[in-house]
Structure 1
Amino acid sequence: MELDVRHLRVLCAIADTGSVRKAAQQLGMTQPSLTTQLHRIERTVGGPLFTREQTGSQPTALGHSVLSRARPIITDLAALVTAARQESSGTAKRQLRIGSVGSRAVAAWLRRVHDRLPETDTTIHIDISAIALLRMVAAGQLDIAFVHESEGFPLPVPAGAEHRVVVAREPQFVALSVRHPAAAQPVVRLADLADDTWMVDPAADHEYAALRRVFSEAGLDPRVLQIRDNATAAELVASGEAVRPCQPTSTPGPGTVVRPVHGDPFAVRLLLAWRPRALSGAALDALHTDLRAAYTDLARVNPAYLTWLLQHNRSLLNLLGPPLQLPAAQQPGG
């Protein structure tokens, strides 16, 4: 059997609904028929794509890999049909297809882009895999993408895409329970978390390897779980069962705190990748400026990250706004 778009839609429906039963309802099929089709697809690709659990169907590692390639195909096909219809009706608009890893800066970036380009049809595609986003840029499925690169693990930028730096080194903080002994400290030490269970998302490129590299260099060997579901991960952190690295712009969830790690052992580089044929120099500069401004505005209103930046990287804060000063109570030695 060869896979076609119908099969890819089946896989996406199961992933999106989290259930074969719900996916069958969404697709207008019977559950036995959809189950049979899923088994045929799995035989074709050579392995199970979902695990069947009490909480529903969750993608396996192979499933995540297939889905990361299936979604762009479906999205691209839908865009092709939409563009063709607009072209035939004479209502075609200029398009800008943006991709991004998860970041709180994305929403503010999009608002700025909409304000700058009100007549442009702007779309956003979010994917936890930076490598998948870069491939989509190179393949012409995206025009530009905001990605993270784990320190020590350079991203393979494919031919057909170029990139520039947004933030040269962003420290990764750690999320932990408010009841954790280290939560009382403004900055935690890695050794204070050596006995904790750590969590990473297995779909995030190089996150697990980067974490292990830092632990190895520090002479530590904590347990590391790979958990895909963010809701479950957040609950495990709040309950004190685990800790996890997070972006410094993250806001603490219920029952948790976000703290910088002494010495900033975890870090990423923030990059903007684009397809030269899709964007001119002026348009690219404008998008880059909008993203930097959105990111800086977010950093300025995040107390933990603002304090870190004022002590370690004032130039980022001062680049796109008036100089800021650390409150007297937080000055070193204050």
Structure 2
Amino acid sequence: MELELRHLRVVCAIADAGSVTKAAAELGVAQPALTAQLSRIERALGGPLFDRDHRGVRPTSLGELVIARARMLLPAMTGLLDDATRLADPARGASIPDHLSIGSSSPAVLAPLIQRLEQRHPDLRVSTTASWSADELARALADGRLDYAVIGICGGDVAPDDRAITWRTFSVDPVFVMLPEDHGAADAAEVPLGALAGEAWAATPGDGCFQECFAAACAREGFAPRSLYVADAASCIELVSSGTAVALCQPTRVLPGLVTKPVADAPLRWRHLVGWRTDSVGADFADELLLTVRMAHNDLVSRSPVYAAWLEQNPGFGEQHDPGITPAV
């Protein structure tokens, strides 16, 4: 077996968790599968990486070396891929606007998007607007009040309809469930929706069919949700922390004291899109913005070991590429 970056992420996850069982739960994989993967990694490296006892695992001398190198290599490889993307760009020299106005209904991706834009274009001024409503952002885009909109919609829905707006999907993510870390299902690799039939639920607001799709998914499991609290993200987190509800959430969400788990068979999904007016001044920058949004989303995935591990087993999800989009710097 050839050693890959994903194997180094597994080793770091086990070291951070302090046990294979806890790491398997955090990564959303079965414990026997993770144990077998660790054995293959150890064979490839020529020796055991961890000593195991009733208290968990402790790195061996070889393990300490591998973990230390992995913690240097993983961020370095991310930087290498970013730099390679820029250097391989055949459209270098394309027009870069002085200012961009970006609206977003996907708050999780907004901060890493701003950070990425600052890294790639330090002289570019960016202003942002947040709204839970994709339809509202689409109207602002159509009216020329925004240059770009980054939105999320239910996987069963369609993008806001306006012939003047071009939409491109950059990711399709499953909807996970957020639980208190002492919840009975917190150690499960994935949680059947029916196992939460007695819970109250929380979710952030949104346009379209998401609530209907959630109710339909529950009905297929033989129950109706006891209640659904639609609230801002901070209130949803508080409801989960207090044990009042469990929350439907993005799979990249990572918070102390809470766990984010896949729902068995991924009955709900969320589609992320970038939109712009095809006749706008900033339209020439669209390919570059789309590339940067993908990078920002990948940054979120890299910070979520549970989702990163889940994506390895479910390759149809995650980053999406529309044909004909060429990144520009």
If the length of structure 1 is used for normalisation, what is the TM-score? 0.62
Structure 1 position 115, deviation (Å): 3.2
Pair 1:106-2:106 in alignment: no
Q: Is the 1:153–1:210 contact (alpha carbons within 8 Å) kept by the matching residues of 2? A: no
Are the counterparts in 2 of residues 234 and 253 from structure 1 also a CA contact under 8 Å? Answer: no
Q: CA deviation at 1:144?
A: 0.7
The one-letter code sitting in structure 1 at the alignment partner of 2:248 is P
1:58 is matched with: none
CA–CA distance in structure 2, aligned partners of residues 315 and 206 of structure 1: 20
Residue equivalent to 1:267:
269
Check whether the contact 1:203–1:228 (CA below 8 A) recurs between aligned residues: no
What pairs up with 1:128-277 in 2 under 5 angstroms? Answer: 128-167=132-171, 169-203=172-206, 205-254=208-257, 256-277=258-279
Query: SS in structure 2 opposite 1:285?
Result: helix
Residue 122 of structure 1 aligns with an amino acid whose one-letter code is V
Deviation, 1:158, is: 2.1
1:220-271 C-alpha deviation (Å, 9 max, x unpaired): 21223233243332222122221111001101343x2110111001101111
Residue-by-residue CA offset, 1:60-93 (whole Å, 9 max, x unaligned): xxxxxxxxxxxxxxxxxxxxxxxxxxxxxxxxx8
Code of the residue aligned with 1:273 in structure 2: it is G
Contact 1:249 1:305 in 2 (8 A): yes
- State the secondary structure of the residue aligned to 1:184: coil
> SS at 2:107's partner residue?
coil
Change over 3 Å in CA distance of 1:211–1:317 after alignment to 2: closer
| CA positional deviation for 1:119 | 3.0
Larger RCO (alpha carbons 8 Å, 6+ apart): 2
In structure 2, distance between residues paired with 1:302 and 1:219: 31
- Partners of 1:239 and 1:281 in 2: how far apart? 45
Per-residue Cα deviation, 1:6-33 (whole angstroms, up to 9, x for no partner): xxxxxxxxxxxxxxxxxxxxxxxxxxxx
Query: Match for residue 302 of structure 2?
Result: 300
- CA–CA distance in 2 between the matches of 1:179 and 1:94? 49
* 1:310 positional shift: 1.3
SS in 2 for 1:182: coil
For residue 180 of structure 1, what is the amino acid of its counterpart?
A: H
The whole-number CA distance in structure 1 between the counterparts of 2:256 and 2:280 is: 39
Instruction: State the identity %.
Output: 31
Q: 2:155–2:271: 8 Å Cα contact kept in structure 1?
A: yes
CA distance in 1, matches of 2:223, 2:241: 23
Provide, for residues 130-171 of structure 1, a one-character-per-residue CA deviation record: whole Å limited to 9, x for no partner: 11111111111111111111022223222321111101x210
Structure 1 portions without partners, runs of 5+: 1-92, 320-334
Q: Secondary structure at the match of 2:185?
A: helix
Contact preservation (8 Å) 2:191, 2:263: yes
Structure 2 gaps of 5+ residues are 1-96, 322-329
Give the 3 Å change call, closer, same or farther, for CA 307–279 of structure 1 in structure 2.
Answer: farther
Give the deviation of 1:318 after TM superposition.
11
Change (3 A) 1:318 1:136: closer
Secondary structure class of the residue paired with 2:211? helix
* AA of the residue aligned to 2:138: L
Deviations 1:184-209 (A, max 9, x none): 20211111111111122345544322
**Paired residues, what number?**
225
Kindly provide the amino acid, as one letter, of the partner of residue 218 in structure 1.
E
Instruction: State the TM-score, normalized to the length of structure 2.
Output: 0.63
Change (3 A) 1:96 1:151: same
Structure 1: distance between partners of 2:238 and 2:112? 27
Q: Which residue of 2 aligns with 1:126?
A: 130
RMSD of equivalent CA atoms: 2.4
- Aligned counterparts of 1:164 and 1:149: Cα–Cα separation in 2: 12
